[in-house]
């Protein structure tokens, strides 16, 4: 069969043929009687990872066959008009499938399937910045709830008036990192504070960092490199908060990274949570060294918190949210702050996938 379409002359078709060949080989390996349970698990996972691209590729090849069949009918005067209509519809399907295949052939981010630690900190703007950080925390919590993800607070420093100076949460679920990874950066809010009598709009910021949680085998930490301090938790949180020295602060001496957790009553649980956060930050450091993009691991995520480093603006007066990286403005601020983030997330994913395609 002669393959027609935009992919015909490029390397993409060759890559797809290689993927299908590998898929068939895996199927054959799974059918061998002497296969071990470990191999069954390994091959089944490999097969599952390729299911989507193979299904679309085979649909694509079938569509091309249908186009060729209808092209042959163009010579028949009685069927010519009907064949033209069929071809027009099939070409649209072909183009859509080609685009899907291009995206599926992009190198996968190895972190996409990982759980994350989400850090939100009040930036410039005092109490109003803390209130905005609280708004963002509730927004992501509701989005996580919609996606049936598990959210667990690791550390929180509340203002007592609905604001949050800092909050760190663990989010577990399907493809958490792939959904949230573009949220890292400085978020800016423009609104009139409730305490502002003249109606003047204030501008405040909050910083967001999304850290992929590594598998245990990926990061090893030597206990000799750790300085562990215990202290009494402070701030809102219930009568038990100041009773015992259950809060934990861990300093990783070689890197200078400091993590702390005070949410649990148990010192043991707080230490376990803090170690998870530490490994995530060490993992992020290693990732950035490999990418050679930035020397300081925090700057890649949130910068310094200055207003000029914003990635997104939330304007309450106009009811709009603007993402400055992709020049997207949506007039649905209440819905988005209520956790309806899919439209925004999908637009960011599409943009960065398109940018990746340009480099291929």
207 and 80 part of one domain: no
The stretches of 107-256 forming alpha helices (DSSP H) are 127-146, 176-180
Are residue 61 and residue 125 in the same domain, yes or no? Answer: no
Q: What tokens appear for 291 in the block?
A: 């990418």
pLDDT of residue 308: 47
Whether 185 contacts 310, CB under 8 Å: yes
Record the tokens describing residue 126, joined without a space: 């005092």
Domain for residue 5, yes or no?
no
Residue 284 lies in a domain: yes
Confidence band of 166 (pLDDT split at 50, 70, 90): very high
The CA distance from 68 to 4, in Å, is 9
- Is 145 part of any domain? yes
Is 21 inside a domain boundary?
Answer: yes
Write down which residue in 75, 104, 133 finishes a domain: 104
Q: What is the mean pLDDT of residues 27-36?
A: 91
50 and 156 in a single domain? The answer is no
Query: What pLDDT, in 10s, does the model give residues 114-156?
Result: 899 999 999 999 899 999 999 999 999 999 999 999 999 988 9
Predicted pLDDT at 298: 44
Run of H or E including 60 = helix 37-73
The helix (H) or strand (E) run that includes residue 354 is helix 342-358
The verdict on 82 and 175 lying in the same domain is: no
Domain-embedded: residue 6: no
Q: Tell me the whole-structure pTM to 2 decimals.
A: 0.66
23 and 93: one domain?
yes
Whether residue 342 is found in the same domain as residue 201 = yes
Residue 85 lies in domain: 11-104
150 and 285 in a single domain? The answer is yes
Contact 270, 155 (CB under 8 A): no
CA angle centred on 286, ends 283 and 288, rounded to 5°: 110
Among 52, 69, 104, identify where a domain stops. Answer: 104
Q: Tell me: do 184 and 319 sit in the same domain.
A: yes
How many domains would you assign to the chain? 2
Quick check: 248 and 233 in contact, CB under 8 A? no
pLDDT greater than 60 at residue 75 = yes
| pLDDT confidence band for 289 (50 / 70 / 90) | confident
Of 58, 82, 104, the residue at which a domain comes to its end is 104
200 shares a domain with 246: yes
Tokens of 92: 């649209």
Residue 129 sits in a domain whose CATH number is 3.30.70.1660
Mean pLDDT of the chain: 85
Q: pLDDT band at residue 1, thresholds of 50, 70 and 90?
A: very low
What average pLDDT does range 40-55 have in this prediction?
89
Sign of the torsion formed by the C-alpha atoms of 68, 69, 72 and 74 = negative
Residue 4 located in a structural domain: no
Answer with the residue of higher pLDDT: 284 or 334. 334
* Domain match, 120 and 98 both: no
Same domain as 92, residue 149: no
- Say how far apart CA 89 and CA 327 lie, in whole Å: 32
- pLDDT tens for 216-236 read 667 888 889 899 988 876 654
Residue 291 lies in a domain: yes
- Asked, for residue 71, whether it belongs to a domain, the answer is yes
- Same domain assignment for residues 73 and 137: no
């Amino acid at each position: 069969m002669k393959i027609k379409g935009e992919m015909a002359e490029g390397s993409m078709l060759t890559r797809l043929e290689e993927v299908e060949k590998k898929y068939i080989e895996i199927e054959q390996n799974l059918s061998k009687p002497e296969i071990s349970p470990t191999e069954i698990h390994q091959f089944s996972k490999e097969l599952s990872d390729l299911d989507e691209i193979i299904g679309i590729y085979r649909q694509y090849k079938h569509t091309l066959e249908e186009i060729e069949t209808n092209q042959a009918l163009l010579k028949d005067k009685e069927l010519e008009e009907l064949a033209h209509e069929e071809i027009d519809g099939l070409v649209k399907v072909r183009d859509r499938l080609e685009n899907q295949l291009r995206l599926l052939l992009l190198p996968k981010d190895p972190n996409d399937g990982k759980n994350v630690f989400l850090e939100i900190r009040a930036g410039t703007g005092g109490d109003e910045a803390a209130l905005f950080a609280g708004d963002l925390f509730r927004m992501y919590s509701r989005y996580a709830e919609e996606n049936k993800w598990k959210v667990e607070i690791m550390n929180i420093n509340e203002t007592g008036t609905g604001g949050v100076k800092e909050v760190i949460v663990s989010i577990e679920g399907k493809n958490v990192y792939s959904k949230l990874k573009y949220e890292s950066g400085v978020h800016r809010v423009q609104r009139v504070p409730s305490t502002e009598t003249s109606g003047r709009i204030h501008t405040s910021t909050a910083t967001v960092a999304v850290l992929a949680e590594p598998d245990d085998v990926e990061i090893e930490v030597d206990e000799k490199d750790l300085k562990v301090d215990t202290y009494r938790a402070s701030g809102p949180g219930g009568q038990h908060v100041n009773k015992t020295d259950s809060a934990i602060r861990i300093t990783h001496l070689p890197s200078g990274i400091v993590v702390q957790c005070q949410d649990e009553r148990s010192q043991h649980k707080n230490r376990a949570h803090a170690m998870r956060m530490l490994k995530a930050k060490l993992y992020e450091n290693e990732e950035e060294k490999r990418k050679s993009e930035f020397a300081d691991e925090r700057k890649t995520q949130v910068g310094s918190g200055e207003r000029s480093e914003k990635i997104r603006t939330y304007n309450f007066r106009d009811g709009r949210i603007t993402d400055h990286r992709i020049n997207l403005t949506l007039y649905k601020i209440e819905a988005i702050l209520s956790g309806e983030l899919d439209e925004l997330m999908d637009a960011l994913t599409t943009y960065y996938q398109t940018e990746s395609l340009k480099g291929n």
